[in-house]
Amino acid sequence: MKEESCIFCKIANGEIPSETLYEEEGYRVILDLGPATRGHALILPKDHYASLYELPDEKCGEVLRLAKKMAVRMTDRLGCSGFNLVQNNGESAGQTVRHFHMHLIPRYDGDGQEIGWKPGKPEQEELKEIRKTICG
Ligand code: AMP
Ligand code: ZN
């Protein structure tokens, strides 16, 4: 299913040109236009799913398989020394395009990028309470 107003639907399905690194039946992998590092790419399903919440279970494995395939190839070709997979869901999490995508971010020693978080210092009680909220 495609969404008429979605730019990633159009890119994934070849209606808008992109620097495509790889294409297969249900997916296109393109270079990000605002890259964090050299080679930053995006895995786009050709069907429209707004985020991980809508992505069908069977596609979750496909996306990770493709991420690994691309990471191996890109690491070999680009000579990067590390690799981040990033996947944002919802505005509060930094998602700006409401079509599921996974970021493939090659990392280089001293590349100056910061992809991470400030670690908190929760008490044991708080961790217990959170676990109960999630699992209870
Ligand atoms: P997110 O913030 O996780 O939704 O990521 C959206 C990403 O899409 C950003 O890294 C943008 O640089 C990238 N982006 C937005 N529009 C395009 C486009 N037309 N072609 C390639 N990348 C894009
Ligand atoms: Zn879409």
CA–centroid distance, 32 to ligand 1, in Å, is: 6
Which residue's alpha carbon is at the smallest distance from atom 8 of ligand 1?
A: 32
Ligand approaching nearest to the C-alpha of 2: 2
Residue nearest to atom 3 of ligand 1 (CA): 95
Residue 50: closest CA among 2, 105, 103, 104: 2
Exposed/middle/buried for 54, CB within 10 Å: 0-12, 13-18, 19+?
A: middle
73-128 pLDDT, tens per residue?
A: 999 999 999 999 999 999 999 999 999 999 999 999 999 999 999 999 999 999 99
- Across the chain, what does the average pLDDT equal? 97
Which H/E stretch holds residue 79? none
Per-residue model confidence (pLDDT) at position 83: 98
pTM above 0.95, yes or no: yes
pLDDT digits (tens, 9 = 90+) for 16-63: 999 999 999 999 999 999 999 999 999 999 999 999 999 999 999 999
Active site residue 101: yes
